[in-house]
Amino acid sequence: MNIAEYHQKIEQVWQHIEEQLDKQGSGVDCEIQGAVMTLTFDDDSQIIINKQEAMLELWLASKLGGFHFAYREDTWLSSEGRSFWLHLEEAFIRHGETVSFSE
């Protein structure tokens, strides 16, 4: 994957997150600044999703900890082979919200 494709894939992730939050009526505030998406919950806790362009990775930080994902097999996977979307859903639950990001 080249840099342009990488950025396109990340933009698709961010768009899907925003669409699902809107579609499911979530009260989570979503803000994108540069290479960082910040999801802020009612209790002011946050999930941070950011681009790591140098490694062509997507990083996720939440109350569950920090995780790195690479684009393999047509999806974002951790080094353990777990889906970004599954991690994100689990992070939302830990932050007190239930949102489905299944594609």
- Report the number of distinct structural domains present in the chain: 1
- For 40-78, the pLDDT digits (tens) are 999 999 999 999 999 999 999 999 999 999 999 899 999
- For 75-93, the pLDDT digits (tens) are 999 999 999 999 999 999 9
- For 19-30, the pLDDT digits (tens) are 999 999 898 999
CATH number at residue 45: 3.30.920.10
Q: Confirm whether 102 is domain-assigned.
A: no
Range of the domain at 76: 3-95
Half-sphere exposure at residue 75, Cβ-oriented, CA atoms within 13 angstroms: 13
Nearest to 61 by CA among 52, 48, 50: 48
